[in-house]
Amino acid sequence: MTTKLSPVWGVLAVMVSLLGCNTTDPEFNASTVPERIQFSSDRLYPEGITYAPSIDRFLVSSLTQGKVGVVDPNGRYADFISDNRLISSLGMKVRDGRLYVCNSDLGVSTKSKPETILKTASLFVFNLADRELIKVVRLDSLRPNVPEAHYFANDITFDEAGNAYITDSFSPVIYKVTPAFEASILKDDPLFGNDPQMASMQEINLNGIVYHPDKFLIVVKSSTGELFKVDLVNVGIVKQVTGVTLKGGDGMVLVNNDLYVVNGQNRVSLVRSIDGWNTASVVRTDSIGYDQSTTNVEVSGRIYTINARIGEVNAAINNAAELQARDYSIQQFK
């Protein structure tokens, strides 16, 4: 088994106890979590963030090391999950005691190889209780007739039935993975791809994704700032959500029909719709405390965003040795 457990120290000892009794950690309560949590970890570059109620901790990913760490409200970081096959961990979600992790390769990981760079898209599923790997679902093999395609599994959401939907930033597709780990392409659409005038440059296209209980997905296209509504009843129907443009749109959280979108790497916008997400508008933007931000998570009705230093990653695509930062933060939406 290639999955490794991190060394046990103070905070992890507490977590192991919590996993056993499934009680609430009084230290981690959304009403007492600070507006900003500072934490440190060498060369982490945590593009993704989620929250695990069973251990009352944030989970953060790593573009450069392909692992998952935990952060408590006091800013204590510890490695939590690592796997030799996990190259760059990105979007993550916790569901039914499992951690779902998008895996890709931008070429900046210590595990990057020529044959996997821009050619990797998969979903890793771990058991949170023992941190063992349950399943790896390959997504980059679903388009065999497009051998020249690039792949980059970026973000993930779930519907009520437990189906996962995953965006690909380099191929114009949304993947679907059933609870039985059967993978397929939900939608392959030129709307999700590169601008033809930018054919020589690989853009970051589809990025953040959320599920709406009225049985559709909302996805953001980073390169253009467009929001799209993807019907899950009539799967062939994709509509642009008009009235709003969020250039550099990244992670998103939907709470009571309020959509919180990280955009421009330096702000979170609250977007609302009154017509079933045919149109939408920005009603509020928080730009204080965000720097090179990527994605967000809801905890007890509050929104927390990871400052991942993503701009440094983008600038070091051809020279990953430059990525040496160790200080990061989690910012609450105000």
At 318 the pLDDT is 78
Q: Which residues contact 216 (CB under 8 A, 6 or more apart)?
A: 229, 230, 231, 232, 233, 277
Per-residue pLDDT of the chain (334 residues; tens, 9 = 90+): 333 333 323 333 333 233 333 333 334 555 567 899 999 999 999 999 999 999 999 999 999 999 999 999 999 999 999 999 999 999 999 999 999 999 999 999 999 999 999 999 999 999 999 999 999 999 999 999 999 999 999 999 999 999 999 999 999 999 999 999 999 999 999 999 987 665 556 789 999 999 999 999 999 999 999 999 999 999 889 999 999 999 999 999 999 999 999 999 999 999 999 999 999 999 999 999 999 999 999 999 999 999 999 999 989 987 889 999 999 999 999 9
Residues 6+ apart with CB under 8 A from 29: 300
Q: Does residue 250 sit within a domain?
A: yes
Q: Is residue 33 part of a domain?
A: no
Would you call 5 helix, strand, or coil by DSSP?
A: strand
- Taking a C-beta distance cutoff of 8 angstroms, is the pair 80, 92 a contact? no
Q: Which residues neighbour 226 within 8 Å (Cβ) at sequence distance 6 or greater?
A: 220, 240, 241, 245
User: How many C-beta atoms surround the C-beta of residue 3 within 10 A?
Assistant: 18
* pLDDT for res 131: 97
**pLDDT score recorded for residue 197:** 61
Residue 35 belongs to some domain of the structure: no
Total domains present in the chain: 1
Is 37 among the domain residues?
no
Rounded to the nearest 10°, the torsion over CA 211, 212, 215, 221 is -60
Provide the residue range defining the domain that includes 269: 4-27+42-332
Q: Which of 331, 212, 207, 328 is nearest to 280 (CA)?
A: 212
Rounded Cα gap, residues 116 and 96, in angstroms: 30
Structural domain contains residue 93? yes
- CATH number of the domain encompassing residue 218: 2.120.10.30
Say whether pTM exceeds 0.85: yes
Judge whether 133 lies within some domain.
Answer: yes
Task: Report yes or no on 280 lying in a domain.
Answer: yes
